[in-house]
Structure 1
Amino acid sequence: MNNRTVPVVTGTYRLQLHAGFGFEDALAQVPYLSRLGVSHLYLSPILTAVQGSMHGYDVLDHSRVSEALGGERSFRELCEAAHARGLGVVVDVVPNHMAVPAPEWANAPLWQVLREGRTAATAGWFDIDWDAGEGRLGLPMLGDTLERTLAAGELTRDQHDGEPVIRYHEHAFPVSPSTDSGDLATVLARQHYRLASWRERDQVMNYRRFFEVDQLIGVRVEDPAVFEATHRLLLDLHHEGLIDGFRIDHPDGLADPEGYLARLADACVDGTPVWVEKVLEGEEELPAPWQTAGTTGYDALQAISSALVDPGTTAVLSGTWAEVGGAPDLDGVIEECKRHAAADLLQPEVNRLHRRAVESIPHLAPDRLREALVELLVATDVYRAYVRPGHPTSVLARAHAEEALSRARVRRPDLGDALDAV
């Protein structure tokens, strides 16, 4: 391990890396950034991402530094140049999701799941509700129904690396061993995935996404083996002395953010700063048990923006809002937007929660449970309450849940029993 003295963090400068601005381009900026007075370079994700990605959050391969950015050698040169000028290096980590690319073989762990199903060695990597898909992974990617797409001849047979695949425009899907005989419709019916129209997404999709982005599939980083596989390269570079700190993208998407941060802290050099991307609502604070140096600063940006915005413009903006039909009540607008998210944007996720509610509360009508579930989601005033499986529920998490229940009961007293049950 490198024993270099790491500079104290006083200010970071974010560099958005992509094929048009890679490690060599960042290297050219190091002298300027040193003169500017920042203490650390903050790099967007450095691992292999979807070809042409402008951000790097659509990770494909956790075992390789992106060749599109210049590869590991250029990354090392950047870190060494920064360190020579007394600058530290912070790297963005994407633990929550991976890309669902086209062609699909670009994501090797996902390709294995498509080929072998829930028994694949990498099936545990991804948050898939297999039972909801009757043992198949739903892929609502077609422009029309499967039947019409087949009739139009848009699905064709081909080969990739000597094995049969099924192509659909830029997409490619593996054919499971011993299922290659018969017409195309018969072959597709035997696969571990189900192709469907994008219009059927709400009924077919059974994997966790990044919000409503279908092309990002949730990763089960709470599994120690998955954590190890997805973090080993970054941690090796860190212990070598190249990476001095980490910024964690969207920890709220993880099953157990507290457990993840604890595992990461154990794997890092003592004292390594780890920041989290976290939106704090109102007076909400970071959970005290989280092992983190703090947030990436959305709360600070809010304070700065508030100081720089002239409150005298409120009347003008409110008047303009009313002229275009906007409701005068902000709370009402927020509620309307939450209902829209539950009904449209995030319906597959609500469907999954509804399935769990029906399983857990079989004595109540499913429709009634769904109404209650949506009311509780709308009534929740923070991104999430942190309930850890196998651990006592914290006072704060229980308080958030009880406050949401109280608000939901006021809005829908007729759902009292279902709200209590959910």
Structure 2
Amino acid sequence: MPTGSDVLTGVTPTSTYRLQLRPEFPFAAAEAVVPHLASLGVSHLHLSPVLEAVPGSTHGYDVTDHTRVRAELGGEAGLRALARTARGHGLGLVLDIVPNHMAVPSPLRLNVPLWEVLREGPDSPYARWFDIDWEADGGQVLLPVLAEPPGPQDFTPDREAGLLRHGDWEFPLREGTAELALPELLAAQWYRPAWWREARTELNYRRFFTISDLIGVRVEDPEVFAATHTKVLELVRGGVAEGLRIDHVDGLADPEGYLRRLRSAVGDGCWVVVEKILARQERLPPAWPVAGTTGYDALYRVDGVLTDPEGAAELALRYQEFTGSADWRETARAAAREVLTGDLAAELAALERAAGPGPAAGVRELLIAYPVYRPYPGGPELDPRALAEAAAG
């Protein structure tokens, strides 16, 4: 591990400059702009995700392999070269990491854990990685990746390769099913390839919001955490990065538990912030071992400097009169109901199944009325006003 002057340790950024890495702007291109950014007074470069992602990805949040730095960006050698150049100009690196989800990529085999789950089903060692409801959809994982509704004739088994093909898509064949007739072969798989529109109502795995090609990862499992964080921890402990930005922390089952495990792994010297959307009166849970949020709440206040409250109120009133729309509270509630029962119908159905037939309607109304993004395990009691609104709804 580098020591002494080779590593900037325990430094809190005074200002960060975010660089969106992509194949057209790899580590080498970022390295070339370091002198200019240093001249602006920047203390740290905030890099978009650097781990292996879907080929050609322009953002990197669709991770496919947690063990490797992305080759299209220049690989680990390129990242380390960028870190050395940045350090030579007095700058540190903050890495953006994505613990909540992985890609459902094309080709599927790029996500090895998911590929093995599709081949081996719930008995796969990788099944613990993903939130899959194996009791839904007849015990098959719905894969809403096809452009059109498929018919059995659209699939072709490649028995020698152990694959099922549909156009450019390849799926793994379950062991012992290759010689079955096509209808029986399709029914015997641990997955069901489907038209992408089926995800809205039939999806049976946790995803990132409404994006079905990002499957949720169970980092609350210690083994999954270890497997998905080995490279990131190596980069932090080796002095390549001195800060981490945690993407979509609210997608995790237990954000505090995750952050405590992460803090224990990276030590007190690593600067950690979370992407967290705070409501107006909401505060970050004080027990979270982080330096703060990535700044949505700060941006709201900065934007407020440019907004005259009296003028904003008058504009809102005139808009309401002109359009005939309801006030903001009613509009937000109607929008929440529309999204929950439409785009998130599959997720709502899963929660209603978990709650049972009696409380199902109450669960729906509580989700619509709840005033903040989400509550947390061990947190305060549910908001009484939201409970009252849910009961009235």
Query: TM-score over 0.5 for the alignment?
Result: yes
> 2:8 aligned to 5, 8, 13, which one?
5
Aligned counterparts, 1:295-310, within 5 A? 295-310=293-308
Aligned to 2:250: 252
Please report the TM-score for the alignment, with normalisation by the length of structure 1: 0.88
Aligned to 1:155: 155
Deviations 1:217-275 (A, max 9, x none): 00000011110110000101111111101000001000110000000000013221100
Decide whether the 8 Å contact of 1:196 with 1:204 is kept in 2: no
Structure with more contact order per residue of length (Cα contacts < 8 Å, sep ≥ 6): 2
Aligned to 2:166: 168
Aligned Cα RMSD in Å? 1.7
Deviation at 1:170, TM superposition (A): 2.8
Aligned counterparts, 1:96-115, within 5 A? 96-115=100-119
Letter in 1 for 2:389: R
Distance 2:313 2:387 in 1: 33
Decide whether the 8 Å contact of 2:353 with 2:360 is kept in 1: no
Aligned counterparts, 1:345-364, within 5 A? 345-358=343-356
Aligned to 1:406: 388
Letter in 2 for 1:10: T
Deviation at 1:371, TM superposition (A): 2.0
Deviations 1:291-337 (A, max 9, x none): 1010001111000001113442543454345434432x100001001
* Stretches of structure 2 lacking an aligned partner (at least 5 in a row): none
Decide whether the 8 Å contact of 2:8 with 2:242 is kept in 1: no
Query: CA 1:258/1:193 → structure 2, altered by over 3 Å: closer, same or farther?
Result: same
Deviations 1:92-123 (A, max 9, x none): 01000000012211111100001110111111
Distance 1:262 1:357 in 2: 29
* Stretches (4+) displaced over 4 A: 143-146
Please report the TM-score for the alignment, with normalisation by the length of structure 2: 0.94
Letter in 2 for 1:372: G
Q: Secondary structure at the match of 2:144?
A: strand
Aligned counterparts, 1:196-207, within 5 A? 196-207=194-205
After TM superposition, the structure 1 stretch with the greater mean CA deviation from structure 2, 95-104 or 195-204, is 195-204
Query: CA 1:320/1:210 → structure 2, altered by over 3 Å: closer, same or farther?
Result: same
Deviations 1:179-211 (A, max 9, x none): 011332221111011233334334431100101
Aligned to 2:97: 93
Is 1:377 the counterpart of 2:367 in the alignment? Answer: yes
- Percent identity over paired residues: 47
Is 1:289 the counterpart of 2:316 in the alignment? Answer: no
Deviations 1:374-417 (A, max 9, x none): 11111110111102xxxxx33x2x143x33212222x33xxxxx
Aligned to 1:326: 325
Aligned residue pair count: 388
Distance 1:322 1:314 in 2: 12
Decide whether the 8 Å contact of 1:140 with 1:204 is kept in 2: no
Aligned counterparts, 1:10-409, within 5 A? 10-146=14-150, 149-150=151-152, 153-158=153-158, 163-311=161-309, 312=311, 314-316=313-315, 318-320=317-319, 322-327=321-326, 329-358=327-356, 366=357, 369-387=359-377, 393-394=378-379, 396=380, 398-400=381-383, 402-409=384-391
Aligned to 1:417: none
Query: CA 1:290/1:335 → structure 2, altered by over 3 Å: closer, same or farther?
Result: same
Letter in 2 for 1:133: D
Decide whether the 8 Å contact of 2:163 with 2:170 is kept in 1: yes
Deviations 1:67-109 (A, max 9, x none): 1111111100000100111111100010000000122111111
Decide whether the 8 Å contact of 1:60 with 1:99 is kept in 2: yes
